[in-house]
Structures are given as C-alpha cells and as structure tokens.
C-alpha cells in the first residue's frame, strides 16, 4: 500500500466517495471547518496500484502540553479486507509516533454486533488500542433506507409517526429552506432546546460560524418549520456521497402540539432522497434503551419514522506512550467534551 498526503479538495472528496460508506466528518469541507477553529488538518490516502483503498482525515489539537489526534468517523475503507485493515492500522500507529501524539483516536462506523465489528475490536485490542474514555460521537444512531418510494417509507413508519406528520399539515405547519439571514433564529431555537432538554452546547458564535460554513458549501442545508409564518422548529442536514445526516435540531416550546418536528424531519428526508441519498442518518440514540435516558424522547421520535437502531464499536485510542496516556485519562476522564 502506498500512502499519499492529499492537499487538493476535489481529489480528496473524489477518492473518499470511491470508498465504502464515506462519512461527512471525513469530507474536505468538514476538515476546513475544523482548520478555521484551530485544528491542524492532515489528509492521507492509501492506494494499491493507483486505486484508493483507504482514507483518513486526521485532526490534531494542542491541548496543554499534549498533541491529540482524531480521525472523526473514520478512517474510511472496506473493514472486511483484513490485509488492508492491518496495513492501515500500522500506518496510523506510525503516524501517531511521527506526529508525537499522546493519543490517536478513531471511531469508524463499523457495526458492533457483527462479525466485522467483533473482529476489528479484537484486532485493535491485540495491537494496543484502548476503548476510549472520551466517546466524542454517538455510538448509536438511527437509519432510514431511502432506496424505495416515499409511500413505502411512510408505510414502514409507526402509525403515530404517520399520524403526526398529517396532523402537522392539518395544523398549518409549513417547512422552508433556511437562509443565511436565519442564522440567529436557528441558533436561538437550538439554544432554547438545549436549555429545555438539559444538554451542553457551545457559545452561539460557534454555531453561527459553523452553520454558515455548511450552508455556503454543498454539504449543508437548513430547514425551518413555521406555523402561520411564525418559526417554531429547525433542523440542519448535512449530506455527502449517498448519505444524509440530521446533526442539529431544535424547537421552541410554542406550537409543540402541532407536531412541527415531525413534518420538519419528513421534508428533510424527502430532500435527502431528491439529492440521490440512499440512507438518512438521524444521528444519535441512547447508548442503552432506558426510558430514564435524556435522549429517550428523541429516540421515540426517530423510531416513529421506522428508523433502524444501529450500534457502532465506538472510539478507540492508540498511544505510543502508554504510561503518559494512563495519567492523561486519570486527569481528564471527568471532562465534558463538546465536538459539535
């Protein structure tokens, strides 16, 4: 396998989309966003006979005296190709040493309860990778297959999901694409949701800048649900390759009985299908299906769309300096991480 350092956006995205299940967090645009936010970004492509077989967008952050590396939702490759996996892991471990990283984190979308996932976890542990104390992304998500007619997708939904979509229409809910002028409104709805649902978010400027970058690029769209022209709910959808992700969503308390979030998700799903996406990733579900989990209400909404719960293996860390890594874990294991 030949390793190349890629500096061309078109070449990177084209190579990535030629690989199995490319993720938006590995796209050029996502890396540029993180570059603007102070991360160092390096992109590596592995080839065999000039054919791309693996890709890894490496983000590096200086945290105190330590350099930390992260390949978000990657690397991207065929995880059933044992030889490729072995060579890639060797390459990543070498990169961790070359870049003087305290740790290198990966969290690929490999299904946990599968022969591929079980084999990968075993191999990672044998090579000294550790299940990470810092699980940055959701391990579980909810997926909808878009490779069928909309009527079929509706038929697969739970009765309550179909009812709430139709109820929203009867209650006068409409959905429109957001513009850059809507950014303060989108952030305000997201902030109110975070306060109501008691989850941590970043400062408003972070989301204004991030969502502006998305909406100005080819990967992002904003959607707003309104009742009588009054905004009541929002959603940010990203798309890359054949998949779409709803990574941010929020709503005001008013008009919640009109079920605007259901019509909002439905319209975003329809838009994703019109873009040629074959999978709609509703992004995030509880680690354990427990009614006491703060994400239980979100899980119920997503499951009403007939979305399939998928569990991934989670994040694993490799460190060339095991003793220092253990000390770092001890000092930082209680910290709250905000990646989005």
At residue 334 the predicted structure's pLDDT band, cuts being 50, 70 and 90, is low
**Which pLDDT belongs to residue 291?**
85
Same domain, 30 and 59: yes
Q: What is the DSSP annotation of 68-131? A: EEEETT--EE-TT-HHHHHHHHHHHHHHHHHTT-SEEEE----BSSSHHHHHHHHHHHHTT-EE
Same domain, 171 and 300: yes
Judged against a pLDDT cut of 50, whether residue 37 lies above it is answered with yes
**Which pLDDT belongs to residue 298?**
84
Same domain, 158 and 266: yes
pLDDT, averaged across the chain? 94
Contact 284, 295 (CB under 8 A): yes
pLDDT tens string 125-150: 999 999 999 999 999 999 999 999 99
User: What CATH number does the domain containing 39 carry?
Assistant: 3.40.630.30
**Which pLDDT belongs to residue 335?**
53
Neighbours of 40 (CB within 10 A): 14
Same domain, 109 and 174: no
Of 26, 116, 111, nearest to 76 (Cα)?
Answer: 26
Residue 81: domain span: 2-137+313-332
- For residue 338, tell me if it sits in a domain: no
Same domain, 110 and 77: yes
pTM: 0.93
- For residue 161, tell me if it sits in a domain: yes
**Which pLDDT belongs to residue 254?**
92
Same domain, 176 and 300: yes
Number of domains comprising the chain: 2
Pairing, β 243-251 against β 279-281 = parallel
Same domain, 35 and 58: yes
Same domain, 179 and 120: no
Cβ neighbours for 114, distance < 8 A, ≥ 6 positions apart: none
Same domain, 40 and 113: yes
Which span out of 151-165, 276-290, 319-333 was modeled with the highest average pLDDT?
A: 151-165
**Which pLDDT belongs to residue 294?**
75
**Mean pLDDT of the 274-292 span:** 91
pLDDT tens string 116-129: 999 999 999 999 99
């Amino acid at each position: 396998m030949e390793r190349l350092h890629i500096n061309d956006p078109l070449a990177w995205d084209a190579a990535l989309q030629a690989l199995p299940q490319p993720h938006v967090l590995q796209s050029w645009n996502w890396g540029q966003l993180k570059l603007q936010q102070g991360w160092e970004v390096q992109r590596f492509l592995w080839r065999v006979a000039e054919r791309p077989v693996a890709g890894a967008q490496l983000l590096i952050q200086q945290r105190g005296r330590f350099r930390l590396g992260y390949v978000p939702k990657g690397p991207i490759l065929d995880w059933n190709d044992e030889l490729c996996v072995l060579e890639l892991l060797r390459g990543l471990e070498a990169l961790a040493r070359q870049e003087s990283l305290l740790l290198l984190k990966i969290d690929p979308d490999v299904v946990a309860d599968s022969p591929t996932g079980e084999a990968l976890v075993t191999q990672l542990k044998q090579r000294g990778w550790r299940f990470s104390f810092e699980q940055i992304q959701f391990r579980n998500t909810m997926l909808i297959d878009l490779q069928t007619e909309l009527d079929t997708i509706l038929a697969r939904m739970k009765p309550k999901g179909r009812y709430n979509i139709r109820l929203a229409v009867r209650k006068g809910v409409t959905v429109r694409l957001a513009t850059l002028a809507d950014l303060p409104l989108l952030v305000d709805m997201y902030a109110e949701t975070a306060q109501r649902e008691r989850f941590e978010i970043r400062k408003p400027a972070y989301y204004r800048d991030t969502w502006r970058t998305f909406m100005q690029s080819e990967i992002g769209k904003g959607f707003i649900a309104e009742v009588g022209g009054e905004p009541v709910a929002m959603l940010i959808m990203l798309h890359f390759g054949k998949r779409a992700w709803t990574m941010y969503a929020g709503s005001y308390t008013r008009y919640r009985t009109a079920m605007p979030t259901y019509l909002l998700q439905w319209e975003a799903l329809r838009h994703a299908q019109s873009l040629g996406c074959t999978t709609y990733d509703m992004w995030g579900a509880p680690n354990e299906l427990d009614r006491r989990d703060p994400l239980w209400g979100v899980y119920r909404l997503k499951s009403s769309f007939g979305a399939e719960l998928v569990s991934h293996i989670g994040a694993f860390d490799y460190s060339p300096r095991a003793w220092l890594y253990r000390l770092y874990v001890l000092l930082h294991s209680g910290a709250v991480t905000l990646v989005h």
